[in-house]
Amino acid sequence: MRRLLISLPALSTIALHAGCYRYVPMSGVTPVPGERYAFEITDAGRVGLSDRLGPGVLKVEGTLVRRTEDSYVVSVAGIDLLSGGSSHWTGEQVPLNAGFVSTMQKREFSRGRTAVAIGATVLAIGAFIVTRGLSGTGAPPAGGTGGPPGGS
């Protein structure tokens, strides 16, 4: 029980973090170093990047370190695979040839998703408290007098 109470804030934080952002298509905007992006990889890119990222890469997510005329250097946070799997990375810098990228999406803060995530978290915590009798009202159990057992 105690372990569950300790992990509840951590789980709430993860849910809020996941709900607060979304990726939106970029339309004619120049990517800015330091911002987070998702790079959709072409078929040729899957072949060309297989030695650095492994086979079957569908999408690369990470922070743009720098942009040149023909490439993006990305601090990789994770990759999505054609097989449906994904892999978490810890910021390794990988150059992506611009010809290997079919589309780019920018990560943006999402007010709507954040509101839903906060609402769901509050409801989950409230349900947990109510179902465990942790409301702390101090009322005696139903049918009891509140006095000591067998006492006066």
Our count of domains for the chain comes to 2
Do 89 and 63 fall into the same domain?
A: yes
Do 120 and 105 fall into the same domain?
A: no
Q: Average pLDDT of each block of 10 consecutive residues along the chain (152 residues)?
A: 57 56 82 96 97 96 96 97 96 97 88 69 78 66 64 60
pLDDT of residue 26: 85
pLDDT of residue 3: 60
Distance CA 38, CA 102 (A): 11
Inside any domain, residue 140: no
Domain range spanning residue 120?
1-20+111-133
Do 61 and 105 fall into the same domain?
A: yes
pTM, rounded to two decimals = 0.63
pLDDT of residue 29: 78
All residues at 6 or more sequence positions from 104 whose CB lies less than 8 Å from its CB, including other chains: 26, 31, 37, 38, 39, 40
pLDDT of residue 119: 77
